[in-house]
Amino acid sequence: SMVAPPDEGDEPFTMHELQNLMNQLITGGYTTTADAIGNAMLLLIEHPDQMQLLRNDRSLLRNFAEEVMRHSSSVQGLFRRTTRDVVIDGVEVPADSILHIRYGAANRDPRQFPDGDTFDITRENANKHLGFSRGPHFCPGQPLALQEIMVAFDRILDRMDDIVIAPGATIERAPGFFLYTLKELPITFTAR
């Protein structure tokens, strides 16, 4: 436990470590999911054919959530340190180098995702994205995040019709290198 006394021989977390862990939990547990829901709404508004497809077939909710994370992942990239010398696409990278791994770019790689710039909720391999990372850094919140997106849009599509960007609104993203965040998403809709 983060706040319970440590087991015998264990060092307790420092205040800095506790603050860092809380920052990660809040960012990973709230901010990225809120960003994903905003990104998903914008994608559906921009692709009314996909919104109608999802309205007509809710069995696509899981693949929709995966495609949102592939196409417009909340986390576009994170820094990693190499543990050994490695060659990446012909470039020698020495051990202990800092790399910025761009998940957003990998999620559009045409070798993995043909026509990767297209948002397609029927994409067969949508779940092969890196929106939650991979390996030892895989996001432990992945099942909850996908479930939250699916539940949110199941309810939204039950309750809202004619969803569009509010007249005169400008869509802007928050500046940043890591997160893909909308500053706001003003919409109008008709209640069902």
Q: What is the pLDDT of residue 105?
A: 94
Q: What is the pLDDT of residue 3?
A: 60
Which tens digits make up the pLDDT trace of 49-60? 999 999 999 999
Q: Which residues contact 148 (CB under 8 A, 6 or more apart)?
A: 33, 37
Which tens digits make up the pLDDT trace of 131-180? 988 887 777 778 889 999 999 999 999 999 999 999 999 999 999 888 89
pTM, rounded to two decimals: 0.84
Q: What is the pLDDT of residue 108?
A: 96
Written as one string, the DSSP assignment of the chain is --SSPPPTTPPPPPHHHHHHHHHHHHIIIIIHHHHHHHHHHHHHHH-HHHHHHHHH-GGGHHHHHHHHHHHS-SB--EEEE-SS-EEETTEEE-TT-EEEE-HHHHTT-TTTSTTTTS--TT-TTGGG--TT--GGG--TTHHHHHHHHHHHHHHHHHHEEEEEEPTT----BPP-SSB--BS---EEEEE-
What is the band of 4 on the pLDDT scale with cuts at 50, 70, 90? low
| The dihedral sign for the CA sequence 126, 164, 104, 36 | negative
Q: Please tell me the distance from the alpha carbon of residue 18 to that of residue 13, in angstroms, as a whole number.
A: 6
23 vs 189, which has greater pLDDT?
Answer: 189
Q: What is the pLDDT of residue 69?
A: 96
Which tens digits make up the pLDDT trace of 66-123? 999 999 999 898 889 999 999 999 999 999 999 998 999 999 999 999 999 999 999 9
Q: Please tell me the distance from the alpha carbon of residue 133 to that of residue 57, in angstroms, as a whole number.
A: 29
What is the band of 46 on the pLDDT scale with cuts at 50, 70, 90? very high
Q: What is the pLDDT of residue 136?
A: 79
33 vs 24, which has greater pLDDT?
Answer: 33
> Tell me, what amino acid is at 37?
I
Q: What is the pLDDT of residue 178?
A: 86
